[in-house]
Amino acid sequence: MMGMEEIAALLPEQMRARLRSARIAGGTATLVFDASGLSGNVREGLEADARAILDGREGIGQVRVAMMADKVKRQIVAIGSGKGGVGKSTLAANLAVALAKAGHKVGLVDADIYGPSQPMLLGTEGQRPQARDKTLIPIVSPTGIPVLSVGNLVEPGRAVAWRGPMTGGALTQMMEADWGDAELLLVDLPPGTGDIQLTMIQRFKPDGAVIVSTPQDLSLIDARRAVSLFEQAGVPIIGMIENMAGYVCPHCGELSDPFGLGGAESAAAAMGAPFLGRIPLTLSIRISSDAGQPLAAGEGPEADAFKAIAAQVAAWLDKEAA
Ligand code: ADP
């Protein structure tokens, strides 16, 4: 009877590292691998490779492969805003990229079901996610972010005319997709405090929420509502981000504040919520967003600003998980 060591010797080193037990008895080879952190595709590949190596060997009539895996402890961060158009999706995309750049395994769910913009922001327009056994497999963006968006599930430009239960179903399918080894899911919520936010909170209980606002009063009134929705549901507020704060004229260099400055910081202070930082209004953010090339992936002042905010979010999550 062939034992663990003889079988392991037949496998390449990478596969051997994951082999937990192996034996051949009565012509059946049984191998158990540790598949922790592997996505469904990679698991299938591992199984197929093991079979290909062992099938047909002398004394082996049948190969059985089993996978065991530690459940990935995945944290969920909801990114919300009171109003639309404040740059919540832009920040969600750049935050995901900045976190990944800092070494975090992060996925992004675009839960803005009626106005999905992540396919454009992350450059995955026109791609469709595949599915295995009804489980969606996220698309990987050119910047390496696994992402799912209704924008990749329906035809571009087509209005989504879904009622509450359907949007809840779509959200669940995306949240319960094959996120592989992602340890953190960022969820880009629709603006406001509607059905999708409630489903998100009740069904998936985010570990924390980030609220995006512009500095002006009108946006802030709504941002306070968003903060209060999460607080009432017991979801901790990681902090507020002020977007479109200050504009540097690309021609004369003059700094102006079309939406005011510092409003989100003082509103956060008044609510007792942390302030995570501000992102300026710049032409390069708008252009790179439209081109599907998040600035956080490169170098420069904007990338630095996203990096600093990502570091604060990561530190908060580390503390929470400890
Ligand atoms: P929301 O998700 O809040 O509806 P988006 O992220 O879709 O907002 O942003 C709305 C528009 O504003 C987009 O065209 C985006 O490129 C632009 N935008 C967002 N943040 C900035 C910024 N800091 N500077 C310049 N343009 C921005």
Question: pLDDT tens for residues 236-252?
Answer: 999 999 999 888 777 78
Q: How far is CA 93 from CA 39, 185, 204, 261, in A?
A: 22, 12, 20, 23
Q: What is the DSSP string of 168-182?
A: HHHHHHHHTS--TT-
Q: pLDDT for 114-172, tens place per residue?
A: 889 999 999 999 999 999 888 999 999 999 999 999 999 887 666 666 677 778 888 99
Percent with pLDDT over 90 in the chain: 59
- The pLDDT confidence band at residue 39, using thresholds 50, 70 and 90, is confident
Average pLDDT score over residue span 211-229: 83
pLDDT of residue 310: 97
CA of 140 from ligand 1 middle (Å) equals 22
pLDDT of residue 1: 62
d(CA 174, CA 170) in angstroms, rounded, equals: 6
**Most confidently modeled range among 7-11, 137-141, 225-229:** 137-141
Q: How far is CA 281 from CA 118, 224, 302, in A?
A: 19, 22, 10
CA of 317 from ligand 1 middle (Å) equals 25
Looking at the CA of residue 117, tell me the nearest atom of ligand 1: 7
Which residue's CA is the nearest one to ligand 1's atom 19? Answer: 87
d(CA 293, CA 291) in angstroms, rounded, equals: 6
Strands in 175-236 per DSSP E:
184-188, 208-213
Average pLDDT score over residue span 265-282: 88
How much is the mean pLDDT over the chain?
89
CA of 242 from ligand 1 middle (Å) equals 12
Percent with pLDDT over 70 in the chain: 95
Average pLDDT score over residue span 100-126: 94
Coil, strand or helix: which one is 274? coil
Q: Is the pLDDT confidence value at 185 over 90? A: yes
Looking at the CA of residue 302, tell me the nearest atom of ligand 1: 23
Q: Is the pLDDT confidence value at 219 over 70? A: no
Chain-centre distance of CA 253, in angstroms?
Answer: 36
CA of 86 from ligand 1 middle (Å) equals 6
Looking only at the bridges linking them, the beta strands covering 28-34 and 139-140 are: unpaired
Which residue's CA is the nearest one to ligand 1's atom 4? Answer: 85
Average pLDDT score over residue span 51-70: 90
CA of 150 from ligand 1 middle (Å) equals 19
Q: Is the CB of 193 under 6 A from ligand 1?
A: no
Q: Is the CB of 209 under 6 A from ligand 1?
A: no
pLDDT of residue 159: 60
CA of 224 from ligand 1 middle (Å) equals 20
- The pLDDT confidence band at residue 288, using thresholds 50, 70 and 90, is very high
Q: Which has the minimum average pLDDT: 179-183, 218-222, 285-289, 300-304?
A: 218-222
Query: Is CATH 3.40.50.300 correct for 75-321?
Result: yes
Cα dihedral: 105, 201, 174, 171 (round 10): -160
Kindly state the DSSP code that residue 23 receives in the 8-state scheme. E
Class of domain 4-68 as given by CATH:
alpha beta
Q: Is the pTM of this model over 0.95?
A: no
Give the residue extent of every domain in the chain.
Answer: 4-68, 75-321
pLDDT of residue 160: 67
Q: Is the CB of 124 under 6 A from ligand 1?
A: no
Looking at the CA of residue 243, tell me the nearest atom of ligand 1: 23
Q: Is the pLDDT confidence value at 218 over 70? A: no
Looking at the CA of residue 92, tell me the nearest atom of ligand 1: 6
Kindly state the DSSP code that residue 150 receives in the 8-state scheme. G
pLDDT of residue 4: 82
Average pLDDT score over residue span 199-209: 94
In 3-state terms the chain splits into helix, strand, coil percentages (rounded to 5) of: 40, 25, 35
Contacts 24+ apart (CB under 8 A), 151-159: 151/110, 151/116, 151/117, 151/118, 151/119, 151/120, 151/125, 152/116, 152/119, 152/124, 152/127, 152/128, 153/128, 153/129, 156/119, 156/125, 156/126
Q: Is the CB of 89 under 6 A from ligand 1?
A: yes
Q: Is the CB of 279 under 6 A from ligand 1?
A: yes
Q: Is the pLDDT confidence value at 28 over 80? A: yes
